[in-house]
Amino acid sequence: MRRSMLGRLAVAAACSFSLLAAFAPAAGAAADSGPDRDRDHGRSYKRVGYFTQWGVYGRDFQVQDLDTNGTAGKLTHINYAFGNVGPDGRCFTGNVPGEADAWADYVRPLAAADSVDGVADDAQQPLAGNFNQLRELKAKHPGLKVLISLGGWSWSTHFSDAARTPASRKAFVSSCIDLYIKGNLPQDGARGGAGAAAGLFDGIDLDWEWPGSAGDTDTTYRPEDKRNFTELVREFRTQLDAYGRAQKRRYELSAFVPTAPAKIDAGFEVRRIMRDLDFVTLQGYDFHVSGEPRTAQQSALYARDDFSVDGTVEAWQRRGAPAHKLVMGMPFYGQGWTGVSGGGDGMGQPATGPAPATWAAGYEDYKALRKLADSGAYTVHRDRRGGHAWLFDGTTLWTYDDPQVLRAKSAYVREHGLGGAMFWSLDGDTADGELMTAVDRGLRGR
């Protein structure tokens, strides 16, 4: 997944289909009130949005914004990004630059104006920060679930070690349940302590990138990761179910999984893990990235001789994943190149490097790309058969998903009986939640 760092490795696959039907509403689509009550042929759809720990800083995207922009009412799940795994193979948190941020998670006090319930945090409450705001958001939106996402691109470093033996898996899973599900946070002044976050998290999302194949530069991987990931999933399911029985509730377990067939085959015993996972979120973006020498699509629904969302869905289903457990990943950001030469619409042309951007070269939030599209300086181009869009001003190109693309992808979810949609990440949307609204309406068949 994109996660906290760029540096995504490009991946490749092949598929060739027509997008024409994806732009038409599914026959017989119907809707009820609330995202968890939507129905299409008797089915419901998950809407899973990633909330980034670090987005509260420069982007100033607070949990409260999910309420004020209407997004919270359209989501079924929030995945909190991220929890880290230490060199000892245990889940941990603290204030360690680049490794953990307890200040953002549960220490930072919020003023009344920034709080979901309109009440300022006081100095003595054991839970503040993002965690307390998520708790308040859940109270305001009953039925909304929050999962802790473990790993991500930058924090998958020690997953392979943690999953290596039965003893290490048992200790790893136990530590994660203790920290997040039981809510036993490290003491930080008045914050934290036994049970401080109890009841906040409704499950765990595994974002190991990637078992059995290369991820970030410092991430360990081994051939035996494939079997060990299966056993790790089983251990999480076993321990979550055991604790859930004691609490008289069920905890969910999900995983973020890759597009590339080579990565799937290197790291995932698909039929076995799908028995224990409630659902998986599919990598539906970063098919090409701004570090590559030529411009290319990053999230096409269909593509000939290249990666695509449809190819990803087909690859997982062919290996035994049931459609209703596949949740399609959708980007709320774009990949960009500059120094593009060769003329035409800019797609597939040489470039000198990643495009300048607000937070990191080659990566820009949708809300900023929307302004470029409205500025008149860029032309919006569409591959209607492929189901993707891009902006080009003659020199700089951005490939991204806009509401029109997301409506087509939402139609695809309905027509193919998939489990729903996932978004990386919620802080990339406009102030009025334009992308979230487009997906919401698309999943309702509107």
Mean pLDDT of 50-74: 98
As a dihedral over the C-alpha atoms of residue 438, residue 441, residue 442, residue 443, rounded to 10 degrees, the angle is 130
Taking each helix axis from N to C terminus, what angle separates 403-415 and 434-443, rounded to the nearest 10 degrees?
30
Mean pLDDT of 372-394: 97
**pLDDT tens digits, 106-161:** 999 999 999 999 999 999 999 999 999 999 999 999 999 999 999 999 999 999 99
The mean-pLDDT minimum among 25-34, 105-114, 202-211, 332-341 falls in 25-34
Provide the percentage of residues in the chain whose pLDDT is more than 70.
90
**pLDDT tens digits, 87-96:** 999 999 999 9
Mean pLDDT of 55-80: 98
Pairing of strands 185-188, 145-151: unpaired
pLDDT at 13: 34
Mean pLDDT rounded to a whole number for the chain: 92
pLDDT at 239: 99
pLDDT at 33: 40
Place of tokens 């035409």: 344
pLDDT at 35: 52
pLDDT tier, 19 (very low <50, low <70, confident <90, very high otherwise): very low
pLDDT at 43: 59
pLDDT at 8: 39
Look at residue 395 and tell me whether its pLDDT is greater than 60: yes
Mean pLDDT of 381-389: 97
**pLDDT tens digits, 220-247:** 999 999 999 999 999 999 999 999 999 9
Ordered by start, the domain boundaries in the chain are: 20-332+402-443
| Domain covering 20-332+402-443 assigned CATH 3.90.1010.10 in the classification | no
Q: Which of 136, 209, 235, 364 is the catalytic position?
A: 209
**pLDDT tens digits, 252-306:** 999 999 999 999 999 999 999 999 999 999 999 999 999 999 999 999 999 999 9
Cα(21)–Cα(299) distance, integer angstroms: 18
Mean pLDDT of 371-380: 98
pLDDT tier, 72 (very low <50, low <70, confident <90, very high otherwise): very high
Look at residue 45 and tell me whether its pLDDT is greater than 70: yes
Mean pLDDT of 1-28: 36
pLDDT at 446: 87
Look at residue 42 and tell me whether its pLDDT is greater than 60: no
Look at residue 193 and tell me whether its pLDDT is greater than 60: yes
Q: Residue 193: beta bridge partners?
A: 185
Provide the percentage of residues in the chain whose pLDDT is more than 90.
90
Tokens of 121: 């945090």
Look at residue 15 and tell me whether its pLDDT is greater than 60: no
Residue 209: active-site member: yes
